[in-house]
Chains A and B, each alone.
Chain A
């Protein structure tokens, strides 16, 4: 689990949490008499996601409040990660001025209008210290004046049916003092706060990541076993690697390297020193086994032995008599005695404060630690309850960045846009453009948009075509799996076809066992673009908005249902998709063929010729030249045009009568197939052997 951006606020300490439960129960009766404060929006938790949502609510002038248990924002980061180094990169230089682009490489900042509130002003370290994150979040809340109720522990959340309420019910939040708050919309940004514990015999001997010593001196000359294989496990190992006899790491699954999976929550190269020493035969090692089958036995010297639960059940005797695996198989890998066993198994969402009536259940088989939400981040159990931040990661667990600041800052914005339309009739922001700007609008976004880049295959831009495809509306960062509900979520109409602009890795590129450095991994030819491996823009064209069914039963591995047509912009080493022939030209051809029109641009002179020699004009001339906004061009450009054969030198026409026959008036300027109609086929008669 990446600690970098997890944002739980509900007490990192498991013990405290259980304590908190009891007052919550006893306060039930108190709720009846406490005066209720009403708020349209209640945000639980002032971590990065909570503050991010508060910022958008603030800017929109909404009635809201943020509850935070700790005395300041970002309390998770006051203790975690234990070794204080964040894994989220703080890339301060990209060589580009574009602030939106730079957010692609800034994994720590929240979104705001204030350029001073960028994380790079808070730390110069590439992997910054967690203390800087706390400082940053405090400034973010203070400078923007976000109303956070600190030291307020919401101990219990329940539902109160009321017809007048926006969603048919209010959320009733009760704090530790028995004060109740009535909220129309509940935004849960409490992160993952409960350490994950696996129950097995001897688990009481195990040190938890949350409390284990971070002083390497405490591990000198010891044999250490670490349970878990995430970043916290490796971070812990890294810290003591130099002083232990050896470290063994045990977990059920194989190690997943983030550079192979392209998932930032998997093991980051910065933490993988142990892999290096393991593979370079330095006594440290990795083992795979299911933890629930294990048992730990303590011997008289206080050392720990690994055995199987199965053996314990056989004969429940004293430590010395218990069967160990090596008794039967004398080369059992974990036959040595350990001085210490450390548990680093990640965190779970705290479900305990939510009443059953909210029907907030845990996610599916592979994301039990997260509450179950729709692709719109709304709880499946109760309307009006949204899960934000790290806890919302079930939507894109192990796929995209939704569990981390650099991902959920955008999903929070998407939720806010949805709420604005749902409750305040403010449609999803969009810009209107003439159709001639379509390729430009797409090129602009794929080159700078950070939300598309960070939340690839989760948030996508949508182009809604107007009637006759003469104009379009551009919507940014829409949760793509809600595409079927686009009209109700955005308040915009999609009657005349749409494009969805997404960023994707190659279909078979990422994965725990994949060799991502294979030879010939990059694709250079535009016609092979669909085989691109690295993150690249993919554009889907639908003639009609897909239905819910179509989205649900989309092909495996596809983020969206089968489109009418699809375009891949070929991957680019510099993620700079502005090459005129390599990137823009194939995109234009795709758009042209979807819209069945000619999207080329023309100089005013060409439009003038078309205007007087044809009854119809290409869109560029219609929308530019005819509105007296034609592109005149300069003499040197004209000369290039003549040289390239795309423009004709009319001053020379007629002086050489010979060339007039070549250029019947029905063609565009130049012999090239500028004119509409079927493309000219060049059959080369010389190639008779073909």
Chain B
């Protein structure tokens, strides 16, 4: 078994190797004997042959370059061969000495040219020379200005000219011109020179190592007239020439009468923008002249169209006279009002520049965009910014009105900052509260924008946002410390309507208080009412309770009873004074808690604990209060209300004190849909409900699931919990314990500044900074934090270079090549 698999492996390898071999054979330079070589020459087909001594070294710089030229030459239908001159069949092409070996170009079996190998110094030179020789008629080589003028005169009214200057024959630019001539040589007369003087005499400034002009001679009818010339501004690469010529072929000016968003011309396909000159019938003649003028200026940079708006159904802004359409798909057209033709030109030119830099940046960024908002609060508030809130339902306070308002009436004040997302998210809830309370409350709902009234907020000790404070006459302002949401704030406001604690003066009143009759409308906000019972002499205890009641104001209804007939109540509920009576309205139960020597904090604690339920339905709002207990959670997930059987089982276990080390609770997916997200985190796919889990949040993060094939009964549950506790159950998952790290890196301005300082004055072209970025990071400060974005510079550079498949359709991405090649 072992050996057989090994064999399979070997077969795999040899197969791969064969593929490589086969592939390389296709492009490799065929080696032939002279006889064989001459026998395979086909009539009309060009062949480049290198004759060499059979015993010459099989590798040389020239052969390497030649090898590389095989594939591109094949694309032009030119085959390449290496002919080994063996002694027995010498050929006249075989040189006498090793050093004098040459390459020969044949068409059929006719010799066209011979090349000393040093003229074919690299792959560019090989291709340039070979094409130059083959395209002898298509590409006219000239030495003087007179030659150029003769050609120009001869072609007026007949054909256009592509005139190029290259610094030398065999350069990459020369190759690019020849390659273009191969394609377009029959359509245009190509003219080539290496004489810089010719270029100077036709008025080129800033002469670089290569230039290409398009002479528009075909439309010239008058022989005394000069051909118009368009200079190609991009560097001479095959791709650029191709694109340039394509735009020269396109009509100079097109008239359209359709939606500019729908119009498409060859320019867009070449990645160039379109400029529409908007015209009306009344000004048509003048507009056409302008448009033609613009078109000449933008030839090779953008397509220019004349848009007749009279017959157009699409809505164009009244004053727009120019429409700009970018080459990128899906970008809406821009309507512009430009009163100067130069502005149109500069608009196009700056746009091409911008596009280049932008694409560069997109390209070298690789990872997610740092400028994309990943803060859910900020993003949602931003998306909601245009909605009009009914702000008028709350009173906006100012420096002048603040004091007068909060002293004149009981007021709730929201301190917020209009630029802060959290503030603005909460403002919506606050307004919702105002909507719900409209016309029912005596409390004045107000707000202060701290972005405007900075000093007011500082004076009220508000330095963080948002903050809600309640101002009541004769009382210190109370800060709201609950959830920043409508329901919780509403509860706070409602419970603040009554004083805390309420002074109850009759036994009947006390009974009504405990039964919930007294504050019928409030018990929906406070599930529990707390009544403190004191004999009239217990002043200290009463004071402590009163203080606790004030502290709990807004969370729970508290009352105090300390009349002479207190014994009626203490007897009825069988408590020793002082004591608390806790009325749980939903369950209709009244509990009693003795209060001997308790301080205010203790009382607060007692009441807060009493507010916790034994088996609560866990919600987004109440989870934090239960998490404070720091116990593992036993959660029963339920789709809809809980099965009474399950509830009973758990409550029984609670009663029997089996669940003291846990916080038992249940979660209703219908009320708290995010529960699905939790289940997904535990189980990957949503399991059928109901389902019971133990989540050990505070130590270890293990999650245990109660077996779904068992019924949730007291016995099963107890057994399972014991096994979990004993470590006999295996967890289904462990909650991840990762720290919350920065979601994305920040801009490393320090390195950018270093780079600019160490090199040249700050440049806007990002490649410079990026390049040095890396060097700096490597060299100078290895101790700096990894906060910093390192650019994978090598990779993107290579990407640009490898874009050699040049005759592929010119797409938008071509923009890069302007710079790189």
Which A residues are within 8 Å of any B CB, using their own CB? 96-101, 115, 431, 433-434, 437, 440-441, 443-444, 447-448, 474, 508, 526-531, 562-568, 578, 580-581, 584-586, 588-590, 592-594, 596-598, 600-606, 608-609, 611-619, 624-634, 636-638, 640-641, 643-644, 646-648, 650-651, 653-654, 657, 660-661, 663-666, 669-670, 672-677, 679-683, 689-690
| Interface membership of B419, Cβ < 8 A | yes
- Point out which of A443, A566, A624 has the most chain B C-beta atoms below 10 A from its C-beta: A566
| B685 CB contact (under 8 Å) in A627, A640, A660 | A660
B387:A636 contact, CB within 8 angstroms: yes
Instruction: Give residues 693-739 of B contacting A (CB, 8 Å).
Output: 695, 697, 701, 733, 735-739
| A628 CB contact (under 8 Å) in B371, B463, B624, B681 | B624
| B677 CB contact (under 8 Å) in A529, A597, A633, A648 | A648
Q: A585-B371, A590-B746 are in contact. Are A640 and B738 (CB under 8 A)?
A: no
B486:A619 contact, CB within 8 angstroms: no
Contacts of A588 in B (CB 8 A): 375
> Which chain A residue lies CB-closest to B635?
A612
B701:A629 contact, CB within 8 angstroms: no
Q: A593-B787, A608-B623, A626-B624 are in contact. Are A677 and B738 (CB under 8 A)?
A: yes
Q: Is the interface of A mostly helix, strand, loop or mixed?
A: mixed
Contacts of B653 in A (CB 8 A): none
B673:A650 contact, CB within 8 angstroms: yes
Contacts of B762 in A (CB 8 A): 531
Q: A580-B373, A597-B742, A628-B625 are in contact. Are A528 and B463 (CB under 8 A)?
A: no
| A630 CB contact (under 8 Å) in B451, B624, B748, B784 | B624
A526:B747 contact, CB within 8 angstroms: yes
Contacts of A440 in B (CB 8 A): 417, 420, 464-465
| Interface membership of B575, Cβ < 8 A | no
Contacts of B677 in A (CB 8 A): 609, 613, 648, 650, 653, 663, 665, 669
| Interface membership of B153, Cβ < 8 A | no
CA distance in complex: A597, B785 (Å) = 13
6 sample A-B contacts, Cβ–Cβ < 8 Å, listed by A number: A443-B419, A474-B463, A565-B750, A614-B735, A646-B380, A657-B685
CA distance in complex: A282, B465 (Å) = 60
> Which chain B residue lies CB-closest to A638?
B380
- Point out which of B399, B484, B488, B748 has the most chain A C-beta atoms below 10 A from its C-beta: B484
B486:A634 contact, CB within 8 angstroms: yes
A530:B383 contact, CB within 8 angstroms: no
Smallest beta-carbon distance A504→chain B, Å: 12
Contacts of A444 in B (CB 8 A): 417, 450-451, 454
Smallest beta-carbon distance B742→chain A, Å: 4
Q: Mark B238-281, 1 if CB is under 8 A from A, else 0.
A: 00000000000000000000000000000000000000000000
Q: A648-B677, A690-B363 are in contact. Are A633 and B419 (CB under 8 A)?
A: no
> Which chain B residue lies CB-closest to A587?
B746
CA distance in complex: A626, B420 (Å) = 21
| A629 CB contact (under 8 Å) in B482, B672, B737, B740 | B482
B785:A564 contact, CB within 8 angstroms: yes
Contacts of B633 in A (CB 8 A): 612
Contacts of B748 in A (CB 8 A): 565
B742:A589 contact, CB within 8 angstroms: yes
Q: Mark B359-379, 1 if CB is under 8 A from A, else 0.
A: 001010011101101111111
B378:A580 contact, CB within 8 angstroms: yes
Q: A566-B750, A602-B377, A609-B677 are in contact. Are A580 and B382 (CB under 8 A)?
A: yes
A590:B747 contact, CB within 8 angstroms: yes
A673:B374 contact, CB within 8 angstroms: yes
| B813 CB contact (under 8 Å) in A592, A677, A689 | A689
B376:A653 contact, CB within 8 angstroms: no
| Interface membership of B405, Cβ < 8 A | no
Smallest beta-carbon distance B447→chain A, Å: 14
4 closest Cβ contacts across the A-B interface?
Answer: A632-B485, A665-B681, A593-B787, A578-B419
| Interface membership of B197, Cβ < 8 A | no
| A608 CB contact (under 8 Å) in B620, B681, B684 | B620
**Additional A-B contact list (10), CB under 8 Å, known A508-B761, A600-B376, A611-B624:** A447-B451, A530-B752, A585-B371, A602-B377, A613-B682, A616-B739, A628-B625, A629-B482, A636-B384, A653-B673
Contacts of A628 in B (CB 8 A): 481-483, 624-625
Q: A597-B739, A681-B367 are in contact. Are A631 and B484 (CB under 8 A)?
A: yes
CA distance in complex: A505, B654 (Å) = 68
> Which chain A residue lies CB-closest to B385?
A580
Contacts of B787 in A (CB 8 A): 565, 593-594, 596
| B381 CB contact (under 8 Å) in A527, A596, A614, A637 | A637
CA distance in complex: A77, B426 (Å) = 51
CA distance in complex: A443, B744 (Å) = 20
CA distance in complex: A433, B451 (Å) = 18
Q: A616-B740, A626-B624 are in contact. Are A601 and B387 (CB under 8 A)?
A: no
Smallest beta-carbon distance B63→chain A, Å: 30
B735:A637 contact, CB within 8 angstroms: no
Smallest beta-carbon distance A434→chain B, Å: 7
B426:A631 contact, CB within 8 angstroms: yes
- Point out which of B425, B485, B620, B621 has the most chain A C-beta atoms below 10 A from its C-beta: B620
B483:A586 contact, CB within 8 angstroms: no
| A605 CB contact (under 8 Å) in B419, B465, B620, B681 | B620
| B380 CB contact (under 8 Å) in A626, A640, A648 | A640
B743:A592 contact, CB within 8 angstroms: yes
| Interface membership of B749, Cβ < 8 A | yes
B735:A615 contact, CB within 8 angstroms: yes
B740:A598 contact, CB within 8 angstroms: yes
B384:A601 contact, CB within 8 angstroms: no
> Which chain A residue lies CB-closest to B432?
A634
Contacts of B377 in A (CB 8 A): 600-603, 631, 633
CA distance in complex: A616, B452 (Å) = 37
> Which chain A residue lies CB-closest to B678?
A612
A631:B425 contact, CB within 8 angstroms: yes
Q: A581-B371, A663-B680 are in contact. Are A632 and B483 (CB under 8 A)?
A: yes
A689:B747 contact, CB within 8 angstroms: no
| Interface membership of B337, Cβ < 8 A | no
Instruction: Give residues 790-805 of B contacting A (CB, 8 Å).
Output: 796, 799, 803
Smallest beta-carbon distance A462→chain B, Å: 15
| B741 CB contact (under 8 Å) in A448, A568, A603, A677 | A677
Smallest beta-carbon distance B690→chain A, Å: 15
| Interface membership of B559, Cβ < 8 A | no
| Interface membership of B219, Cβ < 8 A | no
Smallest beta-carbon distance B105→chain A, Å: 33
> Which chain B residue lies CB-closest to A506?
B762
CA distance in complex: A615, B736 (Å) = 6
| A650 CB contact (under 8 Å) in B426, B676, B684 | B676
B485:A679 contact, CB within 8 angstroms: no
Q: A585-B373, A586-B747, A616-B738 are in contact. Are A593 and B383 (CB under 8 A)?
A: no
Smallest beta-carbon distance A145→chain B, Å: 22
Contacts of B378 in A (CB 8 A): 580, 584-585, 601
CA distance in complex: A447, B420 (Å) = 12
- Point out which of A613, A636, A657, A660 has the most chain B C-beta atoms below 10 A from its C-beta: A613
A632:B379 contact, CB within 8 angstroms: no
Q: A440-B464, A598-B743 are in contact. Are A566 and B454 (CB under 8 A)?
A: no
CA distance in complex: A673, B682 (Å) = 19
Smallest beta-carbon distance A587→chain B, Å: 9
Smallest beta-carbon distance A111→chain B, Å: 12
> Which chain A residue lies CB-closest to B463?
A431
Smallest beta-carbon distance B797→chain A, Å: 12
B368:A665 contact, CB within 8 angstroms: no
Contacts of A633 in B (CB 8 A): 377, 380, 425, 428-429, 485
B374:A674 contact, CB within 8 angstroms: yes
> Which chain B residue lies CB-closest to A431?
B463
B422:A601 contact, CB within 8 angstroms: yes
Q: A601-B378, A650-B673 are in contact. Are A665 and B383 (CB under 8 A)?
A: no
CA distance in complex: A584, B379 (Å) = 12
Smallest beta-carbon distance B576→chain A, Å: 34
